[in-house]
């Protein structure tokens, strides 16, 4: 990424406050406020150092602006300075869209058509991957394989389609991994089946899972590596996204899926280590949705469908066995997640279970649950939790927002932000520049104090 001196000025302190170790210069914190350039925020773990966020809000209270969305999407908006970038569907026109809004007013600055198909099943759509931005560009990626880069003025820099280049994604449902814009690389993972499923998958050649590094300036490949797997059937599929991590000076890209968790050299994609003892009988329906998250010297890998969470000790090399498991949640049956990616914030993990309907604060050293609270209502929570200003922000399928006090798990606020009849709202709430951005199926709200 190309940052200005202002971007670097206060990097170290926000990194220390967030309790994470990332690549030098990756955080984009600027004093008490920061951009949100990636699906999981400036620290790639769902947290930010944002403060002074409003204690209460609704569709009318503390709303700076509300912008109508062309259609539903599970993608999360990203923010760079005064620009908000949004992926969307346009059901009326049958298109995929890339949008840029003015952060201060909500005015649409530009809109670009990026694809001519919006979905292939009734549970999701192609606008599930989130965009990624830096100081020069924004890159949009879609479940149809479309990959498009624009400058901040909306001028197209380059485009390509990964399915056209390497074969259609071999997924039972719809591919949804978000890209990682990292220094001078754009990294994308495709963890898929090794044979076609329902006619989906490359014809006339092998189907491989892979990591791909692309030059964000040109769209040209920098490196591509195969990621092998012993998983079978649907267990080879992952809807997870790659995450950067640094431990004791070693820089890695974390990848989970295909029955294993791996760390990769960002310069070459070479696999540094691998752990995968959690599915010894090779259950065939262990597709993974939660991305990896690191903190406190461990990396979480979340088993699907009410399976335990495993904390793997950072710093390993080669093939890791069970001695590298710091702890698991086998004895804490409610500490599990099938879809939401856990949050690392204020030195702890926050695990949102969409199936058990709980949110738990978990100690990274021991796995001990510090508190646990039931999520309000009956609607499912699949959007990942966000940590900011001492609170945890959640959104359920109906667009109901719940704010939880990070210290004790008490419910601090609730707001109905969705519209009647809304369902499958999956976009994660984000915080940037003293404001919350809440995307429902029909609107994008900017929430901020009046002052």
What is the domain-level CATH number for residue 61? 2.140.10.10
Mean pLDDT to the nearest integer, 66-90: 97
**Among 13-27, 173-187, 263-277, 424-438, which is the least confidently predicted range?**
13-27
Identify whether the C-beta of residue 40 lies closer than 8 Å to the C-beta of residue 243: yes
Whether the predicted pLDDT of 12 surpasses 50: no
Evaluate the CA torsion angle 204, 241, 385, 126 in order and state its sign: negative
Coil, strand or helix at 42: coil
Specify the pLDDT at position 438. 98
**Among 88-97, 162-171, 198-207, 311-320, which is the least confidently predicted range?**
198-207
Identify whether the C-beta of residue 360 lies closer than 8 Å to the C-beta of residue 342: no
Cβ neighbours for 385, distance < 8 A, ≥ 6 positions apart? 46, 340, 342, 343, 350, 352, 359, 392, 393, 394, 428
Identify whether the C-beta of residue 194 lies closer than 8 Å to the C-beta of residue 170: yes
| 122-125 long-range contacts, CB within 8 A, separation 24+ | 123/173, 123/174, 123/424, 124/74, 124/173, 124/174, 124/176, 124/424, 125/71, 125/72, 125/73, 125/74, 125/89, 125/174
Specify the pLDDT at position 33. 55
Specify the pLDDT at position 17. 37
Q: How far is CA 350 from the centre of its chain?
A: 15
> For tokens 């021991």, what's the residue?
366
- How do strand 271-275 and strand 318-320 relate by DSSP bridges? parallel
Q: What angle do CA 250, 335, 274 make, to 5 degrees?
A: 30
Q: How far is CA 411 from the centre of its chain?
A: 24
How many other β-carbons are positioned within 10 Å of the β-carbon of residue 415?
20
Adjacent-strand bridge partners of 434: none
Specify the pLDDT at position 123. 83
pLDDT band, residue 19 (cuts 50/70/90):
very low
Mean pLDDT to the nearest integer, 208-225: 98
Whether the predicted pLDDT of 446 surpasses 80: yes
CA atoms within 13 A on the CB side of 84: 29
Q: What separation in angstroms does the CA of 43 have from each of 49, 290, 428?
A: 10, 17, 15
Kindly state the percentage of the chain with pLDDT values over 70.
92
Whether the predicted pLDDT of 217 surpasses 50: yes
Separation between Cα atoms, residue 420 and residue 399, nearest integer Å: 10
Separation between Cα atoms, residue 435 and residue 50, nearest integer Å: 8
Specify the pLDDT at position 332. 87
Residue 442 backbone dihedrals phi, psi, to 5 degrees: -115, -15
Mean pLDDT to the nearest integer, 19-41: 61
Separation between Cα atoms, residue 135 and residue 207, nearest integer Å: 36
Mean pLDDT to the nearest integer, 70-93: 97
Q: What angle do CA 349, 383, 254 make, to 5 degrees?
A: 55
Identify whether the C-beta of residue 138 lies closer than 8 Å to the C-beta of residue 149: yes
- Nearest one of 32, 140, 126 to 77, comparing CA atoms: 140
Specify the pLDDT at position 13. 35
Identify whether the C-beta of residue 47 lies closer than 8 Å to the C-beta of residue 388: yes
Q: How many domains does the chain have?
A: 1
Mean pLDDT to the nearest integer, 237-257: 97
- Nearest one of 43, 56, 148, 158 to 448, comparing CA atoms: 56
Higher pLDDT, 331 or 292: 292
Mean pLDDT to the nearest integer, 433-449: 97
Separation between Cα atoms, residue 95 and residue 398, nearest integer Å: 24
Tokens of 4: 């200005």
Dihedral angle computed from the Cα positions of residues 69, 74, 78 and 82, in that order, rounded to the nearest 10 degrees: 10
pLDDT tens-digit profile of 327-357? 999 988 889 999 999 999 999 999 999 999 9
Specify the pLDDT at position 28. 39
- Nearest one of 431, 365, 372, 364 to 401, comparing CA atoms: 431
pLDDT band, residue 27 (cuts 50/70/90):
very low
Separation between Cα atoms, residue 134 and residue 62, nearest integer Å: 28
Specify the pLDDT at position 122. 81
Q: What separation in angstroms does the CA of 190 have from each of 46, 173, 299, 388?
A: 22, 14, 21, 31
Domain housing 439: 5-448
Specify the pLDDT at position 351. 98
Whether the predicted pLDDT of 268 surpasses 50: yes
- How do strand 243-247 and strand 221-226 relate by DSSP bridges? unpaired
Specify the pLDDT at position 18. 41
Separation between Cα atoms, residue 312 and residue 297, nearest integer Å: 9
């Amino acid at each position: 990424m190309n940052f200005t001196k202002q971007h670097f000025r206060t990097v170290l302190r926000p990194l220390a406050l967030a309790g994470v170790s990332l690549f030098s210069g990756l955080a984009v914190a600027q004093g008490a406020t920061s951009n949100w350039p990636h699906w999981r925020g400036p620290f790639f773990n769902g947290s930010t150092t944002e403060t002074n966020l409003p204690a209460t809000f609704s569709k009318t209270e503390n709303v700076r602006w509300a912008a109508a969305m062309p259609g539903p999407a599970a993608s999360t908006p990203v923010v760079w300075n005064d620009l908000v970038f949004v992926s969307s569907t346009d059901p009326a026109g049958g298109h995929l869209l890339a949008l840029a809004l003015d952060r201060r007013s909500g005015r649409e600055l530009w809109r670009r058509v990026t694809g001519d198909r919006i979905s292939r099943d009734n549970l999701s759509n192609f606008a599930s991957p989130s965009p990624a931005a830096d100081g020069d560009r924004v890159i949009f990626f879609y479940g149809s394989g479309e990959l498009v880069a624009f400058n901040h003025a909306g001028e197209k820099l380059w485009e390509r389609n990964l399915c056209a280049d390497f074969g259609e994604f071999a997924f039972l449902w719809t591919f949804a991994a978000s890209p990682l814009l990292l220094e001078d690389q754009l990294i994308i993972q495709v963890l898929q089946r090794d044979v076609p499923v329902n006619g989906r998958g490359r014809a006339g050649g092998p189907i491989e899972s892979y990591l791909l590094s692309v030059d964000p300036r040109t769209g040209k490949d920098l490196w591509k590596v195969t990621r092998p797997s012993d998983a079978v059937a649907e267990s080879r599929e992952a809807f997870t996204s790659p995450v950067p991590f640094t431990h004791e000076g070693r820089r890695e890209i974390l990848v989970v899926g295909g029955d294993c968790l791996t760390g990769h050299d960002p310069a070459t994609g070479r696999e540094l280590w691998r752990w995968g003892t959690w599915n010894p009988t090779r259950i065939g329906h262990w597709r993974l949705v939660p991305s990896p998250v690191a903190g406190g010297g461990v990396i979480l890998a979340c088993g699907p469908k009410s399976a335990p969470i495993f904390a793997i000790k950072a710093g390993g090399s080669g093939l890791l066995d069970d001695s590298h498991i710091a702890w698991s949640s086998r004895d804490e049956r409610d500490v599990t997640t099938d879809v939401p990616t856990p949050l690392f914030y204020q030195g702890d993990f926050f695990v949102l279970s969409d199936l058990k309907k709980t949110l738990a604060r978990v100690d990274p050293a021991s796995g001990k649950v510090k508190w646990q609270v039931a999520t309000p209502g009956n609607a499912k929570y699949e959007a990942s939790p966000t940590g900011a200003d001492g609170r945890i922000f959640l959104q359920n399928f109906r667009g109901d927002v719940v704010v939880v006090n990070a210290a004790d798990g008490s419910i601090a606020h609730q707001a109905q932000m969705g519209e009647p009849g809304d369902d499958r709202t999956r976009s994660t709430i984000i915080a940037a520049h003293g404001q919350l951005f809440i995307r429902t199926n029909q609107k994008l709200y900017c929430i901020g104090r009046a002052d």
